[in-house]
Amino acid sequence: MSHDTRGTGAASTPSTPSTEERGALVVIAGTTASGKTELALQLARALDGELVGADSVQVYRGFDVGSAKPTPDELGGVRHHLIDVIDPDEAIDAARFAALADRAIAEIVARGKRAIVVGGTGLWLRALVRGLVVLPTPDPEVRAALEREVERDGAPRLHARLASLDPRAAAAIHPNDALRIVRALEVHAQTGRPLGELRYEHGLGAPRYRTLFVSLDREREALRARIEARVDAMLARGWVAEVEALLARWPADARAFGSVGYREIVAHLREGVELATTRTSIVRSTWVYTRRQRTWFRSEPGIDLHLDAAALDVAALVERAARHLEDPSAGGASRGEGA
């Protein structure tokens, strides 16, 4: 498995090169279990490309089974950047991801290859493709007051408040993600405007790359069935043993352990939650996460193709991607158009 693109320390999103100087990308995004990686690999093989991951769990070393990190056999020689980049106790945000991805894409293009970005972390993809909205610096007093409320009332209570003030941001944030809930409420208190609205408006601006942006999804019941089969396969592949080994090296409060599925297995190992109950909880949490992803990508500006993975014409998509990568005047497809 390639993990040749690494980074340390925080980084801001570079903004000096023009869109044309950065060049062209293909982005394959969408919900968990939709088949993004399989499609991206098909494109990479057809277009002499390399993958750049945009997955907020696959970046962590050792978090393999539960993140569906592609194995060397699955990659079949295709290079995959931005997996196994940081340790579980390291922080990474959208700006740092974009800086790392910029570097990986520049290296790919310098070798005469095509860059294909694949992942389901919506804010990271926005940061890469369009940059990040400039927000006020954190206000220590406002933040401290909100953090006291989290301690007293719990994150879900503040999430409910956020949903009334900023439904767009709330839809993309888990009710237990106290850090992001506090930040969204903090921005609202500072600016009087919803963070989700500010980010959406920013997303309508000029892109950083010339991008063919594809969002992949599946019919509701088909996606549910794939999620259940995926969780069962991961448990059969040794997901619990993986988490047990990780806990022997890293503290249970390391940020990566808060990821969907991993937090439920930590509870199984540390609190004695039955494995059958854990499996049900993982399926439920994954489904909730895919609903948030679906909401994000359906409303995200700049997506060229919304495709049903069960009805893909891969050959047509390869042809469109090739035209996009070769011809600066080709641009993306019209919104919502099929491949």
The CA dihedral of 255, 258, 259, 264, to the nearest 10 degrees, is 150
Residue type (1 letter), 187 = V
| Cβ neighbours of 177 (radius 10 Å) | 15
Cα dist from 75 to 2, 30, 45, 195, 322, whole Å: 9, 20, 10, 38, 21
Instruction: Quick: pLDDT tens for 41-50.
Output: 999 999 999 9
Contacts of 235-241 with CB under 8 Å at 24 or more apart are 235/275, 235/279, 237/65, 238/65, 239/65, 239/66, 239/265, 240/265, 240/268, 240/269, 240/275
CA–CA separation, 217 and 197 (whole Å): 24
- In the three-class reduction of DSSP (H, G, I as helix; E, B as strand; rest coil), residue 8 is classed as coil
Is residue 325 a contact partner of residue 24, using CB atoms and an 8 Å limit? Answer: yes
Q: Which run of H or of E encompasses 116?
A: strand 114-118
CA–CA separation, 315 vs 38, rounded Å?
Answer: 14
Asked whether 116 and 52 are in contact (CB, 8 A), the reply is: yes
Give the dihedral sign, CA 144/145/147/152.
positive
What is the CA angle 5-10-11, rounded to 5?
75
- Could you list the pLDDT tens digit for every one of the 339 residues in the chain? 444 433 333 333 444 566 666 789 999 999 999 999 999 999 999 999 999 999 999 999 999 999 999 999 999 999 999 999 999 999 899 999 999 999 999 999 999 999 999 999 999 999 999 888 778 888 999 999 999 999 999 999 999 999 999 998 898 898 988 999 999 999 999 999 998 888 777 655 568 899 999 999 999 999 999 999 999 999 999 999 999 999 999 999 999 999 999 999 999 999 999 999 999 999 999 999 999 999 999 989 889 999 999 999 999 999 999 999 987 555 454 333 444
**Global pTM value:** 0.78
Question: What are 46-92's pLDDT values in tens digits?
Answer: 999 999 999 999 999 999 999 999 999 999 999 999 999 999 999 89
Tokens of 98: 């974009």
Looking at residue 238, the DSSP 8-state letter turns out to be T
**In this predicted model, what pLDDT tens digit does every residue of 8-32 receive, in sequence order?**
333 334 445 666 667 899 999 999 9
CA distance 7 to 239: 26
Q: Which long-range contacts (CB under 8 A, 24 or more apart) does 297-302 make?
A: 297/29, 297/30, 297/31, 297/122, 297/215, 297/217, 298/215, 299/168, 299/200, 300/122, 300/126, 300/203, 300/215, 301/200, 301/203, 301/204, 302/129, 302/130, 302/203, 302/204, 302/207, 302/211, 302/213, 302/332
Tokens of 17: 């090169």
∠ Cα 181 186 192 (to 5°): 120
User: CB of 99 within 8 A of CB of 14?
Assistant: yes
CATH of domain 140-201: 1.10.20.140
323-to-78, 105, 117, 317 alpha-carbon distances in Å: 21, 19, 17, 10
Show me where the domains of the chain are located. 19-131+208-326, 140-201
CATH architecture for the domain at 19-131+208-326: 3-Layer(aba) Sandwich (3.40)
